[in-house]
Amino acid sequence: MEATDQLAWSVAFQLASSDRINLSPHIIVLMRWFILYFVFILLPELALAAKPQRVVSLNLCADQLLLQLSEPESIVSLTNLSVDPELSYLAKEAAEYPVNSGSAEEILKMNPDLVLAGSFTARPAVSYLKKKEFRVVELSIPESMKAMREQYLKVADLLGEREKAERQLREMDRRIAQAKSSGDENLVAAVYYANGFTAGKKSITTEVLNHAGFENLSEKSGVDSFGFYPLEKLIEAEPDLLILGSYNKDRHSLAQKLLDHPALKRFWGESDRGQARVIIPDALWICATPVIAEAVEILAQKRKEIVSRR
Amino acid sequence: MKHLDALEISVEFGNQLVLDNVSLSIPHGKLIGLLGPNGAGKTTLVRALAGLQKLDSGHVELDEKPIPMFDQQLLSRRIAYLAQGAECGWPLAVERVVELGRTPYLHQRRRLDENDYSVIEKVMQDADISHLLGRTVSTLSGGEKTRVMLARALASEPEFLLADEPVASLDPLHQLEVMELLSNVARGGGAVVVVLHDLNLAMRFCDRVVLLNNGTLLADDVPEKVLNNEMLKRAYGIEAKFIDVEGGRWVLPWKAI
Amino acid sequence: MSVDDNLSLAERGRASHRCELALLALMSVVLFALFFVSLFVGPVSIDLFSSEWTLFGGSSSVAAVILQEIRLPRTILAIFIGATLGISGAALQGLLRNPLAEAGVIGISGSASLGAVIAFYSGAAAIFPLALPIGGITGAMLAVIFLYLLAGRESSILTLILAGIAVTSLSGALTALALNLSPNPYAATEIFFWLMGSLADRSFEHVQIAVPLMVIGVFSLISCRRGLDALALGEDTARSLGVNLNRLTLRIIVGVALSVGAAVSVAGGIGFVGLVVPHLLRPFVGHQPGKLLLASALGGALLLLVADIAVRLLSTGQELKLGVLTSLIGAPFFLYLVLKTRRQLL
């Protein structure tokens, strides 16, 4: 809608101001009416459309993007996961806003002018809202830093906050460049999430590890983007650094209990082996936003410790 | 003299009085027939004597000591109970069932020894089931099954054998054999209480007949004194003909009154 | 087992006793062999000869950590859990005189799962590790007592199975509810573990909290063998043979609750072991409920260890749940038993 309006407007304007094309007076009059229409009626609407006033998020990562990019007053609602400090980096900020559980009915009542959704979450609500011609933008899961940048800027454009986004990305680049270590030791790191899942070669996690000076164990072992990795295989591979997803002692699940397995403790708990383990909170890199610079910093620091111990 | 006594026992099921103040003494060396119409309380009385029935009043004593005061295993060596129509829950071999009769003599760690096996062998012969060795109880006929269960009850070498209708499903030959067997047990010094429906078997084999009706004891005496027309009329509501033959008397239920 | 007709009863008795001992010995030997097979089956291949010594001792080589921290506890749990499931199936069948009685079928496992789920997801088990098996045992105990009061010893197969369905559905619903109420986003997907059961990635922590309780349960059940034999002839006859029925029942309830409750709390509700094993072994012990107990314990251990090895061999990627395999074998078997006992059902 918005794009076609813009196009029509610019074509009409060019036509109207052109000297090379000989236009009949009638057409000129018609054009003027058009121009008046565009300037006084469509233009204010377009300006509004360019900077949405009522944004609703249906996805945890969309929450993060909104919280970092949008004007606070234009956020209407975030997901109920946004206030979970385990998963949401900006949980404290998110607490200011009403949360939704992703049902179409809830969203309908909020009457949003922009809905940000993920490609896998709240699907029934997304398809319903689309059918009702709400403006729904679906975010994908970026598999690289490049894709992350593109998506970040795209969302920033939607929100009319391009400058802010560029500033944040520059800051991210600066922090990553600063954190990067110069050593040439070939160190391998493995990421181990709840339920024995790991991030594979086509994931932003691998790029974060590479920036911090590590090779991702699953790059070699055929895990594509996200997959299961048996505990025994992990031990056999003997990675130099074991990175565990956040394990909160107060929240109980078998999935996370796996990260507490005595075999992991015994293998990466003893300093004489020269192997280390670190817990990177899921909230830091579960969503691809500029805050993953912080994950790079933590990992680079860990790398220095490992190298210095050898 | 060893004896098993029921002293003024009463048993209620719900509001129904099944046994009403029944007293009975069972001395050694006697075969006692327990007779009465259906629902008279025969089974309840036998279970009470075996210590299996909760009593509402009165008590059962063995050698003048109330039954609940006995150690259950020691008591089970002295009193054996053969349930009516006893079934086996699993398809055990015949000798395995008879072996169970030795349970009162076994402890956690004690297995059957030579003595146990000789007792088992003897009672199997007595009950005429030696030829059934190795057969599964569930494949036996009703009569065979009853004799296996009787052998099981005898295997504990009890002083008192309480048998609930052991001859109900037997053919005439085995009826006679079982009654002779019970009679021999009594001759051997034990006491046998047997629930019967056959008046002639009672007349012929029993030393005493106890007649029950509606939970009360109607008569308790030698067969000739109990099985007369007056008693049969009160208990069963029948008239009988009596025929004297050599060494005994036949009772022939003739008509309902 | 061929016994000469001319043998005396005592000789026959001793011969069949020898047969039974031979069966137990054979199963023990196979179990011992499978114990080592189990240690060498897994996603990582470990050289059998060079690493045998690493089964004990504090080396932190790859092989030592995998053997000691992952495969050894898993193998020990498979053996003990299989044994408890087998023996408790045999004991319940003996007590209820009903070949269809089994901890999973009649709802004891489901109820134990509920107890364990509450203990685990409430965080009680994180503070006090024994809370996990205690939760499972409490759940199992409540189910056994409820079933016993409802169905009783002499009830029909149909009553028992219907009561079991009710207990299973109710405890399953409450388990799902408890998992949904958990604030942890992973909890809801873990219902599969609790309903089907698995031994994947268990550790010595689980061995420590569950095995001692299972051993007590198994001993409690084995002490019931004479009573269960006599109970084959019915309650009255058993009592007249000197069996204290109340004590026998209590021992079985406690034994089943301890062993099944502890097993379920660390491995979830692995089904049908207690149904299949006693049924297969019954002919070998002359159908005697007492002799069946120890045989079923060994048989259960064998079956579960074989199933767990199979699960590891069959799985690529994330492991197939062990209970899925036992149910795939067990459920058709259950159906077969139902058809076989249909006459009694009606």
- Count Cβ atoms below 10 Å from residue B113 Cβ, excluding itself: 12
Question: What is the distance in angstroms between the Cα of C307 and the nearest Cα belonging to chain A?
Answer: 19
Contact indicator for A189, A240 with CB cutoff of 8 Å: yes
**What is the ipTM for the molecules in this complex?**
0.92
Minimal Cβ distance to A266: which of C65, C123, C126: C65
Nearest-by-CA chain B residue for C10: B117
C285, closest residue in chain B (CA to CA): B92
Residue B81's SS3 state is: strand
Instruction: For chain B, say whether C321 makes contact (Cβ under 8 Å).
Output: no
Q: Which of C71, C132, C182, C186 to mutate to test the interface with A (most CBs of A within 10 A)?
A: C186
Tell me the residues of chain C between 206 and 225 that have a Cβ less than 8 Å away from chain B: 223
Q: What is the pLDDT at residue C56?
A: 63
- How far is C95 from B69, CA to CA, in rounded Å? 27
Q: Can you tell me the mean pLDDT for A167-185? A: 87
**Predicted confidence (pLDDT) per residue in A185-243, tens digit:** 788 999 988 888 888 878 888 899 999 999 998 877 777 777 888 888 888 888 989 99
Global pTM value: 0.85
Mean pLDDT for B93-114 is 89
Q: Assign A18 a pLDDT band (cuts: 50, 70, 90).
A: very low
Which residues of chain C lie closer than 8 angstroms to A251, CB-CB? 183-184
Could you give the 3-state DSSP secondary structure of residue A229? coil
The vertex-C292 CA angle with C289 and C294, nearest 5°, equals 130
**pLDDT over 70 at A284, yes or no:** yes
For residue B91, which residues of chain C lie inside 8 Å, CB to CB?
287
Higher per-residue pLDDT: B36 or A20:
B36
User: Percent of chain B scored above 90 by pLDDT?
Assistant: 74
Confidence of residue A310 (pLDDT cuts 50, 70, 90): confident
Share of chain A above pLDDT 70, in %: 80
Q: How confident is the model at residue A20 (pLDDT cuts 50, 70, 90)?
A: very low
B156 contacts C241? CB cut-off 8 A: yes
Query: Which chains form contacts with chain B, at 3 or more CB pairs under 8 Å?
Result: C
Top pLDDT among C236 and A50 is at C236
C137 and C261 in contact (C-beta within 8 Å)?
A: yes
CB A86 within 8 A of CB A283: yes
Q: Are B210 and B11 in contact (CB under 8 A)?
A: no
pLDDT interval class at A34 (50, 70, 90): low
C7 touches chain B (CB under 8 A): no
Rounded Cα gap, residues B190 and B236, in angstroms: 30
B15 or C133, higher pLDDT = C133
Neighbours of chain A (3+ CB pairs under 8 A): C
Cα C236 to Cα C250: distance, rounded to the nearest angstrom: 17
> Domains along chain A?
2-49 (no CATH), 55-173 (3.40.50.1980), 181-308 (3.40.50.1980)
Would you call A230 and C204 a contact, using CB atoms and an 8 Å cutoff? no
From the list A194, A227, A238, the residue facing C186 with the nearest CB is A194
Q: Which two tokens stand for residue B22?
A: 């029944």
Portion of chain B with pLDDT greater than 70, in percent:
100
Tens-place pLDDT, residues A116-173: 999 887 888 888 988 988 999 999 988 889 999 999 999 999 999 999 999 999 999 9
Q: How many domains does chain C have?
A: 1
pLDDT digits (tens, 9 = 90+) for B58-68: 999 999 999 99
Q: Do C70 and A231 touch (CB under 8 A)?
A: yes
Check residue B143 and give its pLDDT: 85
Say if the Cβ atoms of C229 and B100 lie within 8 Å: yes
Can you give the CATH number for the domain in which C326 is found?
Answer: 1.10.3470.10
Give the Cα separation of C270 and A110 in Å (integer): 48
Helix (H, G, I), strand (E, B) or coil at B228: coil
| Inter-chain Cβ pairs, chain B and chain C, closer than 8 A | 100
Chain C residues near residue A91 by CB distance under 8 angstroms:
none
| Chain C residues touching residue B152 (CB < 8 angstroms) | 233
Q: Tell me which of B83 and C50 has the higher pLDDT.
A: B83
pLDDT tens, position by position, A54-64: 999 999 999 99
pLDDT for A1 equals 38
Reported in sequence order, the residue ranges of chain A that DSSP labels E, i.e. its strands, are 55-57, 75-79, 99-100, 114-118, 136-139, 187-192, 197-199, 214-216, 226-228, 241-244, 276-279
**pLDDT average per 10 residues of sequence, chain C (346 residues):** 63 88 96 94 76 60 85 96 97 89 90 95 89 95 87 69 89 93 83 90 94 97 94 92 91 94 95 93 93 96 96 84 91 86 58
Residue range of the domain that includes C331: 3-345
pLDDT band for position B220 (50/70/90)? very high
- The chain-wide mean pLDDT, for chain B, equals 91
Residue B25 clears pLDDT 80, i.e. is over it: yes
- Asked if C226 and B91 come within 8 Å (Cβ–Cβ), the reply is no
The strand pairing partners of A228, in sequence order, are A197
